[in-house]
Structure 1
């Protein structure tokens, strides 16, 4: 029969995290103040702190003898974020937009001087597109490519595209790097990129950026549809949906403040 008390192991875990949480709210603190704040005995707090110090999670100042957190917890959190599966996270959001719009969705990332599609959901209208997972496309003629470049410096963009020959897929494709660079500030300011029949005649595409925990663009999320179904009203709605989805994806990647509102 239970006496209502927690097992000692559970109690120890709770005390450990209580101490860590208290340390996270104050740069450094002494044992007496910490014990009082947590309503624990000084001997208990001291014992736990010494163990945490041995494991490298807590540091002690040589003069004041106060305790503070080290960066080891940050390292653990960063390691966990490194293994977050971007495709699995994005798939949930992409399927939601697919059900809403019935159009094709793509997730693309920068690879060298091109974009590479890392995930795709086909249009429910049986739209035939030239894209597939693993396929590469130019940065200069795709909406995803533009959002991947928009927040980089001109010098970096020129370096990425230094060896790229601009091929005109359609009459509307950018002819050179200067032409592309003239569009990128607008892409950055408005928070989305457009492919207005630049990659394929009769096809429009809208893309928004996905950010990591350092607020760097790591991918682009896009929706594609034929010009016959494209309207300004749909454009506004789709951009809003893409931003909302990219915001949630970015948050799960550790981004604390997605810069574009859905």
Structure 2
């Protein structure tokens, strides 16, 4: 008897999902729209929509139409915030590694550093000496530049005011103005480059990972030795990097244009 009752309730769940999907796509809809376009009896549509409005999934507007309710936004936000980006990113990082044969990292900003959350070793004979939890300079690493590039002005200038530009190699950026000019290029191209600025002999490329809010929450990077890069078409490499970073962003709910 309990199983019978459970199965009888399943169609109602589908109806709720269908109504939500319909209204989210249209932004607003009337009761007549819902019962006509979703082929629901008017009495059933009324009870269903009223119940959804009572629970906050829908909001009734002054013109008697319905739009997505705050409860829906709340649930969506909670679901996205609980996504484990390291786990969510694995298949995209592995695909990127397999396509490029290079070492792949996922990292986030923490204070004045970038930090690796994930790493998948490359398939080359020489692999950069990095590890999960390793901290990087924001100004000398490709990952750091990507994370800086989409910060708001106040946050960016607060971070820059706390940075000390230490010359890690002869190529390291040495002042804030030079860094800001490079960040403009990063925003334009959706790729940051570390030209042996953090470690001599190691070249890195990074691309941003956006959340459902359109905010950059992480970066994906490729690391290679100078000799490995010499044999690679970097335009094709960065195109592949951006494609996988964008695919990961999409999986996190990002609705922006491809980059």
TM-score for the superposition, normalised by structure 1: 0.86
Q: Secondary structure at the match of 2:162?
A: coil
Could you report, residue by residue, the CA deviation over 1:204-253 in whole angstroms, capped at 9, with x for unpaired residues?
A: 11111111111111111111111112138521121011111101100011
Most deviating of 147-156 and 135-144: 147-156
In the other structure, the counterpart of 2:199 is: 200
Unaligned runs of 5+ in 1: 1-6
> Residues of 2 paired with 1:237 and 1:41: CA distance?
55
Q: 1:46 to 1:168 in 2, by over 3 A?
A: same
- CA RMSD in angstroms, aligned pairs only: 2.3
Q: Secondary structure at the match of 1:230?
A: helix
In the other structure, the counterpart of 2:223 is: 224
Q: 1:26 to 1:188 in 2, by over 3 A?
A: closer
Q: How does 1:1-262 map to 2 (within 5 A)?
A: 8-24=8-24, 25=26, 27-30=28-31, 32=32, 34-61=34-61, 65-153=64-152, 155-231=154-230, 233-260=232-259
Once the 2 structures are TM-superposed, how far is the Cα of residue 104 of structure 1 from its aligned partner?
A: 1.2
Contact persistence 1:170–1:199 (CA under 8 A): yes
Q: Secondary structure at the match of 2:212?
A: coil
> Residues of 1 paired with 2:171 and 2:218: CA distance?
24
In our comparison, the structure showing a higher alpha carbon Rg is 1
Once the 2 structures are TM-superposed, how far is the Cα of residue 33 of structure 1 from its aligned partner?
A: 5.1
Once the 2 structures are TM-superposed, how far is the Cα of residue 99 of structure 1 from its aligned partner?
A: 2.2
The number of residues matched between the two structures is 252
Q: 1:43 to 1:240 in 2, by over 3 A?
A: same
Contact persistence 1:251–1:258 (CA under 8 A): no
In the other structure, the counterpart of 1:4 is: none
Most deviating of 118-127 and 166-175: 118-127
TM-score for the superposition, normalised by structure 2: 0.87
In the other structure, the counterpart of 1:3 is: none
Contact persistence 1:143–1:206 (CA under 8 A): yes
Once the 2 structures are TM-superposed, how far is the Cα of residue 180 of structure 1 from its aligned partner?
A: 1.4
> Residues of 2 paired with 1:218 and 1:26: CA distance?
27
Most deviating of 195-204 and 171-180: 171-180
Q: Secondary structure at the match of 1:175?
A: coil
Once the 2 structures are TM-superposed, how far is the Cα of residue 126 of structure 1 from its aligned partner?
A: 4.5
Q: 1:38 to 1:221 in 2, by over 3 A?
A: closer
> Residues of 2 paired with 1:258 and 1:226: CA distance?
32
> Residues of 1 paired with 2:23 and 2:197: CA distance?
55
Contact persistence 2:28–2:65 (CA under 8 A): no
Could you report, residue by residue, the CA deviation over 1:65-84 in whole angstroms, capped at 9, with x for unpaired residues?
A: 55444222222122111111
Once the 2 structures are TM-superposed, how far is the Cα of residue 111 of structure 1 from its aligned partner?
A: 0.5
Unaligned runs of 5+ in 2: 1-6
